[in-house]
Chains A and B, each alone.
Chain A
Amino acid sequence: MGRWAGRIVEVKIGATKAEGGSRDKVIVVGGETDLPLFGSKEDLPNPPIISMDIFDCKIPLPKVLKTPFIEVLEDPAEWAKLCVNKYGADMISLHLVSTDPNVLDRSPKEAAKTVEDVLQAVKVPLIIGGSGNPEKDPKVFEEVAKVTEGERCLLSSATLDVYKEIAAAALIYGHNVVAFTPVDVNLAKHLNRLLMNMGLPPDKIVMDPTAASLGYGHEYSFSVIERIRLGGLQGDRDLQMPILVGVTNAWGAREAWLKDPSLGPREYRGPIWEAVTGITYMLAGADILMMMHPIAVSLVKRVINNVFRGEKTSIKEVYEWLKEAM
């Protein structure tokens, strides 16, 4: 329909040898000129990207979520390989949870070593997540950004409380930044402005507006994402950055993991919870989906391949279906 004045900024993640990094290819997100399905193919030049979450130490996870990774839970490099080679992850999001003083309090140097191992193991671009500890994260990001200089990673995340150090590290060592805000369009704008005031250009920023789990605030997140995207399309430059969602949050819903035979097997409930959560945000405009369960990843990929890449899926004729007894 070509309805809008605005265009979402394109952000490049990862760098090849020629560009001073070591990745096989560069991932580009953004560039949209309409919401998915509302316009034409040309309105969505870059299909959404799936980044699979891995952690640098043991963390409590629901059993169903642990099972596919049971062999690699203590080896981030192997874990990353499994995600890329077997489950088809476009990117890896490595969360440096162990650096939290209340977890293992690993040093920034140790964390940087883990990041290097993962960079060695896989050739896809990287999202690097901190532990969320506001005192420790700046130090961790400073060190990690330095040793990965030139790789054009995505550092996750800058918040309203802690953004200066992370933005500075990204600026100096050539990385991108995730701007995390809690379910609020105005706070998202505000943080983007703060980051841009520090000199970070819009094509180095990806927004994470909080992806609540299905049933636990999902409808708030859904509308906030839609509003952010429409705001950007309508021309608000502070909202024209691509959107990232932490779909793995879906596992926070008790319906996804609670042992309750009346709700059906947990082996199915968790993956479908994650898939449904992810697909809704993707249709609202999300560009990068951080996910975890292989089945959920397959389902979302299938939607991406069809809706964004135009690959056909097999579907029954309605006449044929009507004839079936089942």
Chain B
Amino acid sequence: MRKLTPMQIYMLLPKTNCGECGFPTCLAFAFNVASGKANVFACPYLSDEAKRKLSEALAPPIKLVTIGVGSEAIKIGGERVIHRHEDKFYNPTAIAFAISDLLSEEELRKQIAAIENTKLERLEEILKPDLIALKGSSENPERFAKAVETILETTSLPIILCSFNPKVMEEGLKLCGSKRPLIYAATKDNLESMAKLAIEYDCPLAIYEPGRLESLAELVKKARNMGVKDLVLDVGFNDLRETLEKLVLLRHLAIGEEKREYGYPTITFPSLATTESDALADFWEVTVATSFMIRYASIIVLNSIKPWRILPLLILRQGIFRDPRIHPRVKPGLYAIGNVNEHSPCLVTSNYALTYFTVKSDIEASKVPSYLLVVDTGGLSVASAFAGGKFTAEKIAEAIEEYKVKEKVKHRTMIIPGLTAKISGKLEELTNWKVIVGPRDSSELRVFLRKISTT
């Protein structure tokens, strides 16, 4: 929420104190909206005038822009803070892979398939690249259109059409304009024709201006005056530090100083950082992408797809764009992993999502069907919870009763994480169960469980 005071909000409310918003008075409601604890649209009696004013005032200082349509559409921008601990980051950096219209149709299909097949499941999310950036390398409108056709036939991933030539761009848009591709890019030389295309096809438009930010702002204003609503900014990339500084400054101008001409998501090209003569080229592109992602790029465009290169970026993104106020967690309880029976081993862990899914996949890898008793640690890892006194013998004993473990297994033996060996004595006393101290790292469960189940 932006800077509206409780009084400013109150003035826009009906002031009837009907209570339907869940607060006794309009004033109380206004205070809660201002502090972010209530959504202003929970009041059903807002006038149209009030609604308009409020949505304008409450809109994020960095515009939310959608690329693509349907379930694969991606949202970028929509950000409200400079540092994630001040609130959270809302829309993850989108990852795009570039392909060129110079490739043969077969080659294109192969590359698109490689992009489509790059998927990773982690903490119940599918992590994957988001966009295909088609380069109009040929400068030939027909060839570009042909490549667009191939993309449309092969994938539903949203597209970035890359060409500075409006004629080439137009041929592409004729085919995929209804799918909201991002038009890359308008420059000071072609702004008018590109903006016209953006309006005609109702697509977001990227503006490329590697010079001063003031020049970029000029172009933004021009495009806006022509009627383009959704913009994406490219500050250029001639030097890593310079680009990073501009990204930071944009963020500061948009959020800190509420300058609307800078309040748009950004696109960056780590793909430009790789030169053939560089022995570290493959690594370097990922390194550059990392720093762009950490410092506010909304889209990063990369060259070739290789699992080891995208993996760290996907995982970095998943962490940084998580809400810092919430520990990702699973429901405490007794989980059956695999085809269990009453003799299956029973293991104990915490309800931090990362811990649960890590241990679960390690049990699965052992192929020994097991029960996993997940104790409520408030979403903390075993190590943190144990150190913080939230993974205790008492807690485990209670969980055994609460989740009726004794009704599920005939034996009375549990396996606890190696880190928590200290509580085994106390735990045996409290429960009368035999306690086996497992390995410290659950990756060793693969071997450990097989050994136990054969003895």
Contact = CB atoms under 8 A, between A and B. Distances in A.
A264 B102 contact: no
B291 A314 contact: no
Given A214-B312, A222-B319, A262-B307, 19 more contacts: A1-B252, A215-B319, A219-B322, A222-B84, A227-B85, A269-B311, A275-B290, A276-B316, A279-B294, A280-B290, A280-B316, A299-B280, A299-B283, A307-B291, A310-B241, A315-B272, A317-B272, A322-B164, A325-B103
Between B136, B278, B284, B294, the greatest number of chain A beta carbons within 10 A of the residue's beta carbon is seen for B294
A255 interface: yes
B320 interface: yes
A316 B316 CA distance: 26
Given A302-B287, A319-B164, A222 B295 contact: no
Interface string A183-222: 1000000000000000000000000000000111111101
B1 to A, nearest CB: 21
Interface in B266-302: 269, 271-275, 278, 280, 282-284, 286-287, 290-291, 294-295
Contacts of A279: 287, 290-291, 294
A324 B312 CA distance: 26
A318 B236 contact: yes
Contacts of A226: 83-85
9 contacts: A214-B316, A226-B84, A262-B307, A276-B313, A307-B240, A313-B239, A318-B269, A321-B135, A324-B137
List of 6 A-B pairs having minimum Cβ-Cβ separation, nearest first? A264-B308, A219-B319, A325-B102, A215-B315, A264-B307, A316-B272
Interface residues of A, number: 57
Interface in B93-141: 100, 102-103, 135-137, 139
Among B307, B309, B320, which residue has the most Cβ atoms of chain A within 10 A?
A: B307
Nearest to A226: B83
A298 interface: yes
A219 B139 CA distance: 43
Contacts of A323: 137, 139
Determine chain B's interface SS by DSSP, over half rule.
Answer: helix
Contacts of A299: 280, 283-284, 287
A303 B288 CA distance: 8
A321 B272 contact: yes
A154 to B, nearest CB: 25
Interface string A13-45: 000000000000000000000000110000000
A163 to B, nearest CB: 17
A315 to B, nearest CB: 5
B354 A273 contact: no
Contacts of A307: 240-241, 244, 291
A283 interface: yes
Contacts of B384: 182-183
A226 B307 CA distance: 30
Interface in A238-286: 254-255, 258, 262-265, 268-269, 271-273, 275-276, 279-280, 283-284
Nearest to B442: A254
A223 B324 contact: yes
A295 interface: yes
Contacts of A182: 384, 387
B248 interface: yes
B66 interface: no
Given A219-B322, A264-B306, A325-B137, A276 B312 contact: yes
Contact of A216 (B248, B278, B354, B443): B354
Nearest to B275: A314
Interface string B219-249: 0000000000000000011111100110010
A124 to B, nearest CB: 24
Given A299-B283, A321-B272, A263 B311 contact: yes
Nearest to A320: B272
A70 interface: no
A322 B137 contact: yes
A312 interface: yes
B29 interface: no
A322 B290 contact: no
Interface of B: 83-85, 100, 102-103, 135-137, 139, 162-164, 208, 236-241, 244-245, 248, 252, 269, 271-275, 278, 280, 282-284, 286-287, 290-291, 294-295, 303-304, 306-309, 311-313, 315-316, 318-320, 322, 324, 354, 381, 384, 387, 443
A80 interface: no
Nearest to A265: B308
A104 interface: no
A255 B84 contact: no
Contact of B269 (A265, A283, A321): A321
Contacts of A227: 83, 85
A38 B454 CA distance: 60
A303 B244 CA distance: 11
A313 B316 contact: no
A276 B286 CA distance: 8
Contacts of B313: 276
Nearest to A309: B241
A315 B291 contact: no
B100 A230 contact: no
A302 B273 CA distance: 12
A217 B385 CA distance: 13
A276 B270 CA distance: 14
A56 B189 CA distance: 63
Interface core residue of B135, B241, B275, B322 (most chain A CB under 10 Å): B241
A310 to B, nearest CB: 7
A191 B324 CA distance: 24
Nearest to B122: A215
Given A227-B85, A275-B287, A279-B291, A255 B315 contact: yes
B308 A318 contact: no
B316 A218 contact: yes
B419 to A, nearest CB: 13
Nearest to B358: A254
B236 A295 contact: no
Nearest to A183: B384
A251 to B, nearest CB: 13
A283 B220 CA distance: 29
A284 B269 CA distance: 22
A268 B443 CA distance: 21
A272 B312 contact: yes
A306 interface: yes
B139 to A, nearest CB: 8
B240 A322 contact: no
Contacts of A318: 208, 236-237, 269, 272
